[in-house]
Amino acid sequence: MTEEHVLPHDEALSRQYRALAEETPSPALDAAILAAAERATAPRRASRRWWPAWRISPQWTTACATLLLGGFVYTLWPSAQPERSITADTHKPAAHEQSDATPPRIAQWQPAPLPAPTSARAQQAARHREEAQRLAKAEHQAFDAARVAAREAEELASEKVSKQLALPAPAAAAPAASVMARSSEAELSAPLADMASSPQIDERLQREIRQIRQLLAVGRNAEAEHAWRRLTAVHPRHALPEDLRARWAAPPAAAGIGASQPAAASSASSIE
Amino acid sequence: MPMADHDSDPRDDETLMQAWRDGELAAFRLLYARHRLRLYRFLVHETGNNAAGDELFQEVWLSVIQQRAGYQPWARFSTWLLETAHRRLVDWHRREHRHRWNSDLDAAHELVDQCPLPDATVANRQSGQQLRDCLRTLPPEQREAFLLKEEHELGLAEIARLTGAAAETVKSRVRYAISKLRSCMEALA
C-alpha cells in the first residue's frame, strides 16, 4: 500500500476542486518577479566581465605602483637634496677648522637643526634658511683663507724688515728715520699686497686696515687706536694683522718704550 | 511578459535550479513557468483572497531568488518551493489572524466530524464557488493539508515533512478537511 492510498481521498471533491476557475497571477506580478531575477543575476555577469581584466594584467598594477612611487620620490626630492648638500658642507669645514686650531668660536659653529617642512611655504622658508647658512659657511671659509694669507704676508714682511735691519755698516749709517720709514712702507704694503692677492678678502676690512696704518704713519695714534678698537669690535673673528694686534694688546705704558716690542711695533713707535 | 514554455527544456527542476544558482536566468524562467500556476492557486486558496495570495506569491519567489546560492538538490524542487511557501503562510496566519499554529486543534475537530457525506451527493450539488467558500471555513492546517494533496498531489510523507507534523496528524487533517467540505457544500446546496 502506497502513501497516497493511505491518505483519505474523495474523488468527487477532487474533481470539483480541479473544476474551479483557475486563478492566475497577474502579468504585472510575473514581470516584477522576473525583473527581480534579472537584477539578481546582473551584478554577477558584470563582475565576470571586468574582473578578469584586472586579474590578467599585473603589468598594469606594476606600472601604477611605479608611477605612484616615482611621484612620491619626485615630491620629496627638492627638500631632500639641499639637506644632503648642507650636511656635506658642514662636515668638511669642521675638520678643517679643527686641524687649523682656529678660535673655538669658529670651530664650534654648527648649523641650527632644520625643522621638518610641513607645507610648501615652510619648505621654501627652510630652503632659504639653508641657503643663508651655506653662504655664511662659505664666508667663514673665505676668512680662514684670508687669515692664513695674512699670516704668511706678515711673516714675509718681518723677514724683509729683519734683512734691512741687518745691513752692513754703510747701510746702517743711513738715517734711521729713512730706514724706519722704508720698513714702515714695506710693512704697510707687503701684507696688503698679499692679502689683496686673495679675492675673498673683504674690501672694506682691507681699506680700514690701510687707513689705520696710514694714521700710524702720520702719527695720529689716538685715532688709529680708536679705529682699531672699532675694527676689532665689528670684526672679532676676522684675521687681522698681528703687528697691529700686538701693538694695542700691550699695556699703554710699555707701548711707547718699544724695547721688547716686535720690529714692526718698534718701528711704528719710532715714527711717533 | 511572455512565459517560457516549460516543456521546451528536458532538464528536470533540480537541474534547472542548479543552473539558476550558477546564474542562468533562462533556467529561472522555466522553473517559474512550471510552478507559478499551482503555487499561486495554492496560496490564493490557502489565504482565501487574491491580494494576500499575490503578496505571498511574490514573497515566495523572491525568497527563491535570494536563497538560490544555498540550494542543494537534497529534495525535489517542488518540495523546497512549498516549504518556503509553508513558512510564509505560517507567518501570514500569525500576522493576520493571531492564529496558534499547532496540532492541538486537530484533536478538537476530530470529535466534530463523525459522518461524511456520500461522494455522489457532493459531486452533484456543489459548484466551484461553493467549494471556494467552504475552503475558507476550514482551519488553516486542514486547508493546507488538503490543498497540498489536491493541488500539488503530494503524498503523506511529503506533506508531513513539509509541514513538520506527524504522518497521523496529516492524515487526520486531510480526513477532517474532506468531511468538513462535504458538510459545507451540502449545507450551501
Query: What pLDDT, on a 0 to 100 scale, did the predictor assign at position A28?
Result: 92
Report yes or no: A79 and A127 within 8 Å, Cβ to Cβ. Answer: yes
The minimum CA-CA distance between B100 and chain A, rounded to whole Å, is 25
Q: Which residues of A touch B68 (CB under 8 A)?
A: 40
Q: Fold for domain B13-97?
A: Rna Polymerase Sigma Factor; Chain: A (1.10.1740)
- Grid coordinates representing A126 are 627652510
- Determine what percent of chain A is predicted with pLDDT higher than 90: 5
Instruction: Give the separation between CA A193 and CA A216, rounded to whole angstroms.
Output: 18
Q: What is the mean pLDDT of chain B?
A: 80
Query: What pLDDT, on a 0 to 100 scale, did the predictor assign at position A111?
Result: 57
Q: How many CB pairs under 8 A join A and B?
A: 106
What is the mean predicted confidence (pLDDT) over A41-61? 65
- Cβ under 8 Å to A: B residues 20-49: 23, 25, 28-29, 32, 36-37, 40-41, 44
Report yes or no: B41 and A23 within 8 Å, Cβ to Cβ. Answer: yes
**Amino acid letter, residue A176:** A
Closest residue to A23, CB basis, from B41, B170, B178? B41
What is the mean predicted confidence (pLDDT) over A73-77? 81
Kindly report the number of other CB atoms within 10 A of residue A235's CB atom.
15
Region of poorest pLDDT, from A11-15, A19-23, A35-39, B82-86: A19-23
Instruction: Give the separation between CA B84 and CA B92, rounded to whole angstroms.
Output: 12
Q: What is the mean pLDDT of chain A?
A: 68
CA separation (Å) from B174 to A34, B140, B145?
34, 11, 6
pLDDT digits (tens, 9 = 90+) for A218-244: 888 888 888 888 888 877 777 778 888
- Start-end of CATH 1.10.10.10 domains in chain B: 104-188
Taking the Cβ of residue A32 and every Cβ of chain B, the question of whether any pair is shorter than 8 Å is answered with yes
**Does residue A53 lie in a domain region?**
no
Closest residue to A37, CB basis, from B25, B131, B171? B25
**B171:A33 CB<8 A:** no
Q: Which residues of B touch A17 (CB under 8 A)?
A: 131, 150-151
**Residue B59: is its pLDDT beyond 90?**
yes
**A41:B132 CB<8 A:** no
**B128:A2 CB<8 A:** no
Helices (DSSP H) in B98-155: which residue ranges?
104-110, 119-125, 128-137, 140-150
- Grid coordinates representing A254 are 710699555
- Domain containing A202: what range? 141-271
Q: Which residues of A touch B155 (CB under 8 A)?
A: 2-4, 7
CA geometry: angle B138, B44, B102, nearest 5 deg: 40
**Does residue A54 lie in a domain region?**
no
Closest residue to B123, CB basis, from A2, A3, A12? A12
Q: Which residues of B touch A23 (CB under 8 A)?
A: 40-41, 44, 50, 53
- Start-end of CATH 1.10.1740.10 domains in chain B: 13-97
**Residue B96: is its pLDDT beyond 80?**
no
**Residue A26: is its pLDDT beyond 70?**
yes
Region of poorest pLDDT, from A55-59, A98-102, B88-92: A98-102
Query: What pLDDT, on a 0 to 100 scale, did the predictor assign at position B57?
Result: 94
Number of domains comprising chain A: 1
ipTM exceeding cut-off 0.90 for this assembly? no
pLDDT digits (tens, 9 = 90+) for B60-76: 999 999 888 888 777 78
**Residue A73: is its pLDDT beyond 70?**
yes
Instruction: Give the separation between CA B33 and CA B14, rounded to whole angstroms.
Output: 14
Report yes or no: A160 and A138 within 8 Å, Cβ to Cβ. Answer: no
Based on the number of CB atoms within 10 Å of its own CB, is A57 exposed (0-12), middle (13-18) or buried (19 or more)? exposed
**Residue A5: is its pLDDT beyond 80?**
no
Query: What pLDDT, on a 0 to 100 scale, did the predictor assign at position B184?
Result: 87
Exposure of A26 in the CB half-sphere (CA atoms within 13 A): 9
pLDDT digits (tens, 9 = 90+) for A106-135: 545 555 555 555 677 888 888 888 888 888
Instruction: Give the separation between CA A123 and CA B168, rounded to whole angstroms.
Output: 88
Q: Which residues of A touch B61 (CB under 8 A)?
A: 33, 36
Closest residue to B128, CB basis, from A10, A20, A31? A20
Taking the Cβ of residue A33 and every Cβ of chain B, the question of whether any pair is shorter than 8 Å is answered with yes
Name the more confident of B23 and B98: B23
Q: Fold for domain B104-188?
A: Arc Repressor Mutant, subunit A (1.10.10)
The dihedrals phi and psi of A196, each to the nearest 5 degrees, come to -70, -20
Query: What pLDDT, on a 0 to 100 scale, did the predictor assign at position A32?
Result: 93
**Does residue A260 lie in a domain region?**
yes
Kindly report the number of other CB atoms within 10 A of residue A268's CB atom.
26
Residue identified by cell 500569525 is: B94
**A34:B32 CB<8 A:** yes
Name the more confident of A137 and A163: A137
- Grid coordinates representing A86 are 648642507
Instruction: Give the separation between CA A115 and CA B162, rounded to whole angstroms.
Output: 77
Taking the Cβ of residue B119 and every Cβ of chain A, the question of whether any pair is shorter than 8 Å is answered with yes
Q: Which residues of B touch A20 (CB under 8 A)?
A: 41, 128, 131-132
The dihedrals phi and psi of A156, each to the nearest 5 degrees, come to -65, -45
- Cβ under 8 Å to A: B residues 77-116: none
**A13:B36 CB<8 A:** no
The minimum CA-CA distance between B13 and chain A, rounded to whole Å, is 17
Instruction: Give the separation between CA B90 and CA B80, rounded to whole angstroms.
Output: 16
Query: What pLDDT, on a 0 to 100 scale, did the predictor assign at position A95?
Result: 47
Residues 6+ apart with CB under 8 A from B177: B138, B142, B143, B145, B146
**Residue B115: is its pLDDT beyond 60?**
no
